[in-house]
Amino acid sequence: MADLVKALEYCHSQNIIHTDLKPENLLLGSGGNIIIADFGSSVDCSMVGTCMKTSTCNGYNEYWAPEMYTSCFGKEVDAWALGVLLYEFLVGKPPYQTKEETLNDCIPYPTEKNISDDAKDLISQLLENDPKKRKALNTILQHPFMLNNERS
């Protein structure tokens, strides 16, 4: 997760929103590092105040943020996808199976999985429906879940 956060921070510093983060687009490098692939759907957000329209967001994608279905979107969509990925890494599948579930505020944690309160807290901050309230990339690494699970 830390590698992903750092890679996305770099992309955003270069005004690139990936918009299509999912397991299939994450590769493992020879040194064990994560490589983000498939920038075919990425968006250049270099024009401050530009509203990215959702005209190409037809259908359903487990990793799309709610605003990709209903309105304009920005860099926050990549933070949402990180939340879906973190959930999937811990649970084994994405949290939502339909667009309607994605638009709901409830995160379905399975009772048979032991997910820490810190993990749930970080996931809930990343899967915040309001993009303005969603956890910013530059604050994720300071979250207790990330600090308590750092590689040695």
Q: For residue range 1-11, what is the model confidence (pLDDT) as tens digits?
A: 999 999 999 99
The domain ranges of the chain are 2-148
DSSP for residue 54 = -
**pLDDT tens, position by position, 95-142:** 998 888 888 878 999 988 899 999 999 999 999 999 999 999 999 999
**pLDDT tens, position by position, 48-102:** 455 555 555 567 789 999 888 877 788 999 999 999 999 999 999 999 988 888 8
Q: Which of 3, 20, 44, 117 is catalytic?
A: 20
The architecture of the domain spanning 2-148 is Orthogonal Bundle (1.10)
- Please give the average per-residue pLDDT across 13-30, as a whole number: 92
Q: Is 118 a catalytic residue?
A: no
Quote the CA–CA distance of 28 and 115 in Å, as a whole number. Answer: 25
pTM of the model: 0.89
